Amino acid sequence: MADLTASIRSKPVVAVYVRHRATCSHASRGEFYRGCDCAKWLRYSRNGKQHRLSAGTRTWGIAEEKAAALQEQLDAGEPGKVPIIVRAEQATIEQAIETYITGKESEGISPARIRKLKHQLSLFERFMSSRSKFFPSAVTPADVIEFRASWDGSWASTVTRQKAQQNIRGFLRYACRENLNELLAAMKTIRLSKSDRNRLEPKPFSEKEIAVLLAQIPKTFTESTKAATASLLVRSMLSTGLAIRDTLQLERKSISSDGWLRLSRQKTNRPVRQQLDRDLCRELLEGDSEYIFWDGKVLITSAVTAWQDDLSSPWCK
């Protein structure tokens, strides 16, 4: 049964105001001056908290139209001071993004990943705001299709667009309810081109490249324990050919005392049977935790992303 709350509340009123640039000659006229071309914003108070949203325009008249559209959306769930039963209030897209990001940060996702999420979701919020879509329930399949179409000029890489779509879909799953299925259906798979597939084909490191990579690790990871773990992780992947996800989820029980590695790949479930180098086997079996590289506390996807970010930095420098 839907969550219902009884409340008496005053009606929020949306107001247009201007944020003057430091160089604006009309700044002294105040935030309600209509005649300059500075950015226009919308403001309203709800349950004792003030909310501010960019109107996505520098024209006062257009901002007033955006304010009217937002007012209609708020009025639908704000019946003034008449005591009635209303549905639990819906967060705006901007508020939902803030909460979603906070949740991702608490999962231990890397700062680089968080920066990408903030950037991509900020673009999503601004795009929807420009269409007077301030609540997740107001977003339509046409909106997300046209939002995705706007990436072509910004992100030439198909892989970048795939990752961005993955992030947007994750947010939609969190924020949307009634319209979720149709929104996800509208954001169909972004397919790789032949050139993309060729570029992403595995390219084994040369012996020289491996030496450079391993030599760079202690220079990048200043903490000795982290550097040792990074080095062991890289050497394990190079020796076994396992993907980083398989290696991070490697359990000590998968390595027998006689040096044989036995496991099933996470993605394909294909079995792996391999004799390990004696010294590498000894290093992998040191310790008594269940997993060699993963603590099992954060999501494995978060752990993979964090290590990918960490390991890309020494190679790129």
Whether residues 229 and 294 share a domain: the answer is yes
CA atoms within 13 A on the CB side of 224: 0
With tokens 């269409």, the residue in question is: 131
Tell me the per-residue pLDDT of 263-295, one tens digit each, with 9 for 90 and over. 998 878 889 999 999 999 999 999 889 999 998
Provide the 10 A C-beta neighbour count for residue 85.
8
Whether residues 265 and 188 share a domain: the answer is no
Q: So what's the pLDDT on residue 184? A: 92
Whether residues 62 and 99 share a domain: the answer is no
Assigned token pair, 107: 């999962």
Whether residues 97 and 191 share a domain: the answer is yes
Q: So what's the pLDDT on residue 302? A: 81
Whether residues 213 and 306 share a domain: the answer is yes
DSSP string, the chain: ---EEEE--PPP--EEEEE--TT-TTGGG-TT--SS-SEEEEEEEETTEEEEEEEEES-HHHHHHHHHHHHHHHHHH--TTS-EEEEPPPPPHHHHHHHHHHHHHHTT--HHHHHHHHHHHHHHHHHHHHTT--SGGG--HHHHHHHHHTTTTT---HHHHHHHHHHHHHHHHHH-STTHHHHHHHSPPPPPPHHHHHHHS--PPPHHHHHHHHHHHHHH--SHHHHHHHHHHHHHHHHH---HHHHHT-BGGGB-TTSEEEEE-TTT--EEEEEPPHHHHHHHH-S-SSBSS--SSS-HHHHHHHHHHHHHHHHH-
Whether residues 216 and 294 share a domain: the answer is yes
The CATH number of residue 116's host domain is 1.10.150
The total domain count for the chain is 3
The CATH number of residue 302's host domain is 1.10.443.10
Burial class (CB in 10 A: 0-12, 13-18, 19+), 109: buried
With tokens 């993309």, the residue in question is: 196
Task: Among 62, 87, 112, identify where a domain stops.
Answer: 87
Whether residues 116 and 155 share a domain: the answer is yes
- Cα–Cα distance for residue pair 7/77, rounded to 1 Å: 11
Task: Among 158, 185, 200, identify where a domain stops.
Answer: 200
Domain of 234 in residue numbering reads as 207-316
Task: Among 175, 200, 225, identify where a domain stops.
Answer: 200
Pairs from 119-126 (Cβ < 8 Å, separation ≥ 24): 120/164, 120/167, 120/168, 121/97, 121/167, 121/168, 121/171, 122/97, 123/147, 124/93, 124/97, 124/168, 124/171, 125/93, 125/94, 125/97, 126/54, 126/56
Threshold 0.85, pTM exceeds = no
Assigned token pair, 189: 């798979």
Q: What is the mean pLDDT of each run of 10 residues along the chain (317 residues)?
A: 47 88 88 89 83 85 87 68 46 90 85 89 91 88 92 75 91 91 90 73 75 85 88 91 91 91 87 92 90 87 82 58
Whether residues 234 and 281 share a domain: the answer is yes
Q: So what's the pLDDT on residue 80? A: 45
Whether residues 216 and 298 share a domain: the answer is yes
Whether residues 227 and 302 share a domain: the answer is yes
Tell me the per-residue pLDDT of 152-165, one tens digit each, with 9 for 90 and over. 766 767 888 888 99
Whether residues 226 and 305 share a domain: the answer is yes
Q: How far apart are the two ends of the chain, measured CA to CA in Å?
A: 55
- Cα–Cα distance for residue pair 236/245, rounded to 1 Å: 12
- Cα–Cα distance for residue pair 167/121, rounded to 1 Å: 8
Q: Find residue 261's DSSP bridge partners.
A: 255, 274
Amino acid identity of residue 2, one-letter, is A
Whether residues 189 and 288 share a domain: the answer is no
- Cα–Cα distance for residue pair 44/38, rounded to 1 Å: 20
